[in-house]
Amino acid sequence: MGIKNIPAGRHNEAGIALIIAAVALLAVSSFVVFGTGFIKGKDRDDSNLMTRQKMERIMTQAAAFAQMYNRLPCAADPKDDRFDIDFGAEDRDGAGEVCDSYDGIVPFRAFGIQERDVKDAYGRYITYHVSPVFTDLDRYEDEGVDVGDRCRYSEDEIWIGDMPLDGNAGPNADVRNLNPAKAKFCCPDISVHAPGTDISVTKQGAALVIRVGTADITARSNGNVGGIDAGINYVDVNEDVNHEAVAVMLVSHGYNGVGAYLGGNAQVAGDGGNDEDANSDGDAAFIDKSFIYASGNAYFDDILLYKTQNQLYAMLGGTCVKPFR
């Protein structure tokens, strides 16, 4: 039977069936394309949440370390090979007094945790940066000359046990700081801060930009304190130490991983955004802002977590605000 003998109704049915099949195929294709994008986005959100949780746990270990030793550990040397026996240990100089590495991998051996605990949900090492002010052991050998006024009974005296650091026991010896190491951790004086090594955080898209590491002690008074681009420095307008200076910084380099340490003196290469580059160049200046999933220099997916010495003590119920206890 030739095609010309097929009833007209059959042609209509066949045409409708083809249209339905085409529509169904288009729907399936759209689901695959958009559904895959949705799943990918959800996976990234889940990974970011898991990463933040891991960073919070690391910061809790830092808080415990600070309260036990009244200091923070140096970074683990990112130049060490992953299979070196010292990989993950804090990197101090030969004398053990100061750090050789302030920026590197989280010192998981010092914190008593596993290597896997210092990797983000994307499997990359979390960057650890610590301010020298809160790590150097040689500072604790001096007699109080680098302790801020907040931890002093008077302007000139820091009371410890039966003897003040700066002089002889006096009539007020019953009012004393029982923990000199804590006083030096909680109240580092202006003399031990150094612009360029103190951690600086520029927080964008918020009401405040914190630039702790700047040398301009007047910026807080003549800057736009309440708005974007306001500055808070490591000293305030009276040249007293700002106790909200960032002591320790953690950075996950996010989904693209650009800049993350690999060990063996290597970092994840790639085309990250300009602000991502600022968070992986090894210096003390960091940028914190919302994610920007865009191509080119605007891209940003870093996750930052940072604490002051006050906040570290508070995490486990301690306090720097009352250093006499």
The residue type of 298 is A
Instruction: List, for residues 304-314, the tens digit of each pLDDT value.
Output: 999 988 889 89
pLDDT at 65 exceeding the cut of 90: yes
Contacts of 177 (CB under 8 A, 6+ apart): 151, 153, 158, 159, 160, 183, 323, 324
pLDDT at 236 exceeding the cut of 70: no
Over residues 166-192, the mean pLDDT reads 60
Nearest to 268 by CA among 126, 57, 58, 88: 126
Where would I find the beta strands (DSSP E) of the chain?
103-105, 127-130, 159-160, 163-164, 200-203, 246-252, 261-263, 266-267, 285-288, 303-308
Instruction: List, for residues 237-291, the tens digit of each pLDDT value.
Output: 444 555 567 889 999 999 999 999 999 999 999 887 889 999 999 988 888 888 9
Nearest to 129 by CA among 189, 26, 219, 213: 213
Q: Please state the φ and ψ torsions of residue 92, each to the nearest 5 degrees.
A: -110, 165
What does the domain layout of the chain look like in residue ranges?
Answer: 8-41, 42-315
**Positive or negative, the Cα torsion across 29, 32, 35, 36?**
negative
pLDDT at 43 exceeding the cut of 80: yes
The pTM for the full model equals 0.75
Q: What percent of the chain has a predicted confidence (pLDDT) above 70? A: 61
Cα–Cα distance between 301 and 254 in angstroms, integer? 5
| 235 exposure class (CB count in 10 Å sphere: 0-12, 13-18, 19+) | buried
Cα–Cα distance between 209 and 203 in angstroms, integer? 5
For residue 192, the model assigns a pLDDT of: 72
